[in-house]
Each structure stands twice: as C-alpha cells, then as structure tokens.
Amino acid sequence: MSTMTGFDVSGVRIGGGRPIIIAGPCTVESEEQTLAVARAVKRSGAKILRGGAFKPRTSPYSFQGLGEEGLKILSAAKAETGLLVQTEVMDASQIDLVCKHADILQIGTRNMMNYSLLKAIGETRFPVMLKRGFMSKVDEFLLAAEYITKGGNEQLFLCERGIRTFETGTRFTLDLSAVPIIKKMSQLPIVVDPSHATGRADLILPMSLAALAAGADGIMVEVHPQPKKAMCDGLQSLTIETFGDYMTRIRAMTAFLLQQNEGN
C-alpha cells in the first residue's frame, strides 16, 4: 500500500490538510441547473463540483444521465467558475472521454468490485475517488483500492457512502467508524458522502459534522436548485439556500477541529 498522505489536484489539496468539500447535483440535467449549483458552490468557497453524466441507476428504466452532453456542461461550469470537476466513470471504455472533461474520476459503489475498471484506472495517472461498495467490508474496500494503486496510480482517495443494513429509517447506514479504522490501516485520504448514506437532506448537516469530528478528509454532498424537481436523489439534496448555511456550519467545525489539532 502507498505511503502518501494526500495529494494536490491543480492546486487543490486532498487529504492531509483542510477538509475538502465536493458539492453538486446528483446528475447533470441541464446547463442552467448545473451552472446555478456551480455558482453557489463557488460562492461558498468549496473547490470541487460533482455531477453525474453517466449514471448507474438501479432500474434500467430510470434516467441514465446525459452522457457526453453532460460532460460538456460540466466543462462549461468549470470554465466559468474555475472549480475542479468530479464525475463518475462507469466503464473502462469511457475513461478517455471522461478524462477530457473531468479533473477527478469517480468510481461508484456499484463498481467497487469491477476489477477490470479498477485496473484500467490504475493504469492512468488521473485523480480518482473510489466509493465503498454498499455490501463491502472495510478490508474489501481497501483491497479494491489497491487494484488502483498497484497499477501505479497514487492519486486516489476513498469515500464512505453508507452500507446496507436492516435499518430502513435511512437509505443506507452511514458507517462512520470506517473513517478512523481506515485512517489506521491506510494512508489514503477518505471523505464521507452523507447524501447517499442517509437519503435524507435533514441528516446531511449532523452527519457531516460527525464525519469531520471522526477525522474525515472531506465531505461530498448533493445540491440541487429545486430538489423536488430533481431527476434523481432530490430527497437527499440541499438547496442552494440551505447549502450556504450548511457551509457556514462546516467552516465553523473545521476551524474548531484545526484549533484542537494545533493544541495537540
């Protein structure tokens, strides 16, 4: 396993410093929607815009994403705001295309065990975030990560996004203990995704604060201008307005934690 403690993506530090906030819509729906969110993300001081163009949907009848058109919208959002762009790659055949538009690749929970995809991304020298499989144990998650680092791609960070349990009050169960466990077992940065973990917008703030307190290197959160009209995951998206307040609380927590760490 690698011994790094974070890395830079175009001047943005991931791991080993201030927690990073990755925010944006579940899926790129239109230029207007994505730019509205991108401007809010930029205003708040966050550095990375997320948004899916290739969407791994449970049902083949659900909206599958805008594909290349969605990637072009993300590029336009980046050109206007200067934000870094993170988006999912579902298949090795998409890597070249996605790399043309993205700064960071994302491997979704359903693909954590797609070893041919992991190997192909390990052959690139492109930053990537790997999400934990929702039925995967921590050691399986770390071994999946090693498929990428073994190929020589060291610009990798992890994302805890909840696992499936018997609990139905939330969409998945956020396994926050994975954060300090992984910190002990690995040098890889790890962020937490409270949107997919809980499926509930009202739980995003408390679970984000808890994630930072547990030592997470950042948060990934969904934001939509009109969550009720979102094509997917509206229930777990902050609005542009609530995202502003959310970031104020995140900044206060970050300042508190940095102060604590300096005291030690």
Query: Which is nearest to 250 in space by CA: 195, 207, 199?
Result: 207
For the bound state, the minimum distance from the C-beta of residue 221 to ligand PEP, rounded and expressed in Å, comes to 10
For the bound state, the minimum distance from the C-beta of residue 233 to Mn ion, rounded and expressed in Å, comes to 4
Residue type, 203: L
56 is a site residue for ligand PEP (CB under 6 A): yes
Cα separation, 38 vs 243, whole angstroms: 12
171 is a site residue for ligand PEP (CB under 6 A): no
The burial class, CB within 10 Å (0-12 / 13-18 / 19+), for 255 is: exposed
103 is a site residue for Mn ion (CB under 5 A): no
Vertex 5 angle, CA 87 and 99, to 5° = 25
Neighbours of 168 (CB within 10 A): 6
109 is a site residue for ligand PEP (CB under 6 A): yes
For the bound state, the minimum distance from the C-beta of residue 83 to ligand PEP, rounded and expressed in Å, comes to 17
* Among 233, 238, 240, 250, interactor with Mn ion by CB under 5 A: 233
Q: Phi, psi at residue 159, to the nearest 5°? A: -140, 120
26 is a site residue for Mn ion (CB under 5 A): yes
Tokens of 68: 């290349």
Measured from each CB, the residue nearest to Mn ion is 26
- Among the listed ranges 25-33, 76-84, 155-163, 172-180, the one in contact with Mn ion (CB under 5 A) is 25-33
Residues within the interface to ligand PEP (CB under 6 A): 26, 52, 56, 88, 108-109, 131, 161, 196
